[in-house]
Structure 1
Amino acid sequence: MGERTALSPTTRAALIWGGLAALVIVLFIVAVVILNATVYSAKGFVHSYVDALNRGDTSSALALAGVQATGASGDELLTVPEKGELRRIQITAERESAGGVHRVTVSFDTSSDLGDTSTPHTTTFAVRPAGKIGGLFSQWQFQTAPTASIDVTPLHDPRFTANGSDVTTLGADVASRFTVLAPAVYSLAHDTMYLTATPETTVADTVGGVVPATVDVQPRASFVAKVRADVDKYLRTDCLPQRVLLPSGCPFGQEVDDRLTSTPTWSMTTYPPVSLDPTDTAGVWKVVTATGEAHLRVGAESLYDGHDYTINEDVPFTVGYQVLIGSNNGLTITPQ
């Protein structure tokens, strides 16, 4: 047997370092492949976008979407966070089509604050390659901007809230179109001093789709109570003290053909009930025509035979008012 030639220390060191360098190169290549298949993949790009939406990072979501909020009418919801509105987010499908465009489908659930009832939704995005980072990592961009539209009709008042943010449209009772980042999940409501609307969840989960939504603004019980108190106070303090048969500016009165022998006195038997209906003018509500009863007591002398008698009777009357809500939440009530 021949003798083995011993490797010099220098040679051994070179082999070791060469092996380590080769291993590092292999590991680097593997890392690049893994990252391109996950973080820097079409699926990873879409997941980053949806995650930014769901954590309320609207700036990052807009940047990834390639969409800019201009501040123009209709862009208001683009900057309203959707934090935590999406649940159980999953990439469920990816399909590559001609031109290298990838269609990535995301599934998610939404649920109300009142329970665990969930509704499954899916959104499909079209993304395409957009070059490389450092010649190694894939970049992606949306082939079609991931936006949808919500047509919001606020009934009886032009204002509403979206996920707690105040929005004012150009007018009540007409639809206003808002551009949103899809998938969009908004709780639409109204919450002002005198008016309210039950929150309704609106989901726009189709890129390029249009979803209608209605915000049904109604008077609060406190609004009705305030108007009732003001009407009652007016009748009590402005009308009842008038010692005449036909109180000025008041909804009740009584004509008497005979001669009066005492001063008329009024009291209220039944105050009219108050309920409010909307009008065609935003900020103006009307008191639905209602009936009350005032009570008249006055002495009289018959012009026919001269006998004295007392009028002591209830006098029915009707009321109708318009109620204007001012910019400072003051109420202006005018008779109709």
Structure 2
Amino acid sequence: MQSGESRVKRSLALPIVGWSALTLVLVGAFIATIGALNMTVYGSSMFVQRYLEAISRDQISQILEIPGVALSDAELEERGLPADTSVAMLRAGVISTGPKDVRIVSDVAEENGDHTVTASYRLGSSITESTFTVSPLERLWGVLDSWSFTESPLSVINVTVQHGALFSVGSLDLDTRATKSGDELKAFSQSAPYLVVAPAEYELGYESTLLKAAPVDLSVAVGEPSEAIIDLQPTTEFVSQVQSEIDEYLAQCTTQQVLQPAGCPFGIAIDDRIRSEPVWTIVTNPVVTLTPGEDAFVMPATEGTAHISVEVQSLFDGDIEQLEEDRPIVMGLTVRIKPDGVSLAIEIT
């Protein structure tokens, strides 16, 4: 028979063994859970997927906080970009379309611990893929994986505004002269680089009272620069304003009761004696057309017609007659929009 002491020792050992087994089970379950989380929620694939889905939800401020997204001055220099490259487009309300139906195609672990993740998604009407390299960071609470993009997925759009400086993208109006000074501000056409979130689609254009550009749809790939040319052209209102000013200018010319109105694009030379004050009227005004020139909008030499009415006496035989004659108006223009964006500076050529 077992002694009472032996029975007591065995009875004490049973709970200890039970608790030890339970502890092992719990530790195993915890490790398995951490492993599952690191394979899914905290995995490299999910890191990339969350980035792409955040673009689709236009969560730009959150995207910029993702490790490896923001570009340092050194990284900008490596890409051949100035340190003052505009970040004005890195905000909500700018993207036209973000990636949809995101699916991770592959996730390859590299020997150095990095992961190469390829994602498929629909952007607009196209299905495309992008590959990202992500690097491990210090684990959260020592157990959960965290990641950073090895190279920033941000891209650059080099925007050129022909015949102006302003353009719009999404709900935002931008000025390509924002970081310029001196003579650079005087250029008729302007350009500037803008950092943008990618992959995404953008629609750039412009419309104001005086200028309008057809929309430019741009699909921007990860890490690849894109070019956008905004072609500003005079609006009907712009042409109408110039026409009104020219009509008024010519009307002022007719108030000068002389044969050669000063500073005016019409006149007449008469060898006979003038017996009355000349009266000028405008028969047809030159019709304004505007096209972009090298440094301003221009109207080529355009014809109109003025009419003079004056009484003259022949120096040859003394006859008196009322001269009624149409005279050509020939004028060209250069037109610039003043810095206020509304007023016009018109120069007759």
Normalising by structure 2, report the TM-score: 0.80
**Distance in 2 between residues matched to 1:83 and 1:126, nearest whole Å:** 24
Q: Which residue of 2 aligns with 1:141?
A: 148
Is contact 1:324–1:333 with CA below 8 Å preserved after alignment? yes
State the SS of the aligned residue for 1:317: strand
Counterpart of 1:202, as a letter, is L
Unaligned runs of 5+ in 2: 1-12, 74-81, 181-186
Q: Relative to structure 2, which stretch is displaced further, 123-132 or 54-63?
A: 54-63
Q: Which moved more, 1:93-102 or 1:310-319?
A: 93-102
Which residue of structure 2 aligns with residue 49 of structure 1? 51
Secondary structure of 1:138's counterpart equals: coil
Q: Give the corresponding residue for 2:274.
A: 260
* Shift of residue 222, structure 1, vs aligned partner: 0.8
**Structure 1 runs of 4+ off > 4 angstroms?**
11-30, 68-72
Task: State percent identity of aligned pairs.
Answer: 29
Q: What is the letter of the counterpart of residue 216 of structure 2?
A: E
Counterpart contact for 1:69–1:79, Cα < 8 Å: no
Runs of 5+ consecutive residues of structure 1 not aligned to the other structure: 1-10, 112-117
Go from structure 1 to structure 2 and tell me whether the alpha carbon gap of 1:272 and 1:84 turns closer, same or farther (over 3 Å shift).
closer
The 2-side partners of 1:84 and 1:23 are apart by 51
Q: Match of 2:137?
A: 130
Please say if 1:199 is aligned against 2:212: no
Give, in angstroms, the shift of residue 68 of structure 1: 4.8
Q: CA deviation at 1:224?
A: 0.8
Alignment of 1:1-336 (within 5 A): 28-64=30-66, 65-68=68-71, 72-77=83-88, 79-81=90-92, 82-83=94-95, 85-96=97-108, 97-111=110-124, 118-165=125-172, 166-169=174-177, 170=180, 171-173=187-189, 175-207=191-223, 209-236=224-251, 238-281=252-295, 284-328=296-340, 329-336=342-349
**d(CA) in 1 for partners of 2:232, 2:305:** 32
Q: In 2, distance between residues paired with 1:85 and 1:42?
A: 24
Paired residues of 2:56 and 2:100 also in contact (CA < 8 A):
no
SS of 1:51's equivalent in the other structure is helix
Please list the CA deviations of residues 141-195 of structure 1 after superposition, one character each: whole Å capped at 9, or x if unmatched.
1111213222221111122223232132445546533333322432222233311
- Supply the distance in 2 between the matched residues of 1:84 and 1:250 (Cα, whole angstroms): 51
Q: Which amino acid aligns with 1:120?
A: I
- Closer, same or farther in 2 for the Cα pair 1:157/1:69, shift >3 Å? farther
Residue 223 of structure 1: how far off its partner (Å):
0.8
Assess if the C-alpha contact under 8 Å between 1:259 and 1:301 holds in 2: yes
Q: Is the 8 A contact 1:91 1:104 kept in 2?
A: no
Residues 311-320 or 56-65, more deviating: 56-65
Contact preservation (8 Å) 1:69, 1:75: no
Whether the aligned pair in 2 keeps the contact of 1:122 and 1:205 (CA below 8 Å) is no
Q: How many residues align?
A: 317
For residues 131 and 188 of structure 2, the distance between their equivalents in structure 1, rounded to whole angstroms, comes to 34
| TM-score normalised by length of structure 1 | 0.82
Q: Give the match's secondary structure for 2:42.
A: coil
Determine the C-alpha separation between the residues in 1 that align with 2:315 and 2:72. 81
Distance 2:188 2:112 in 1: 46
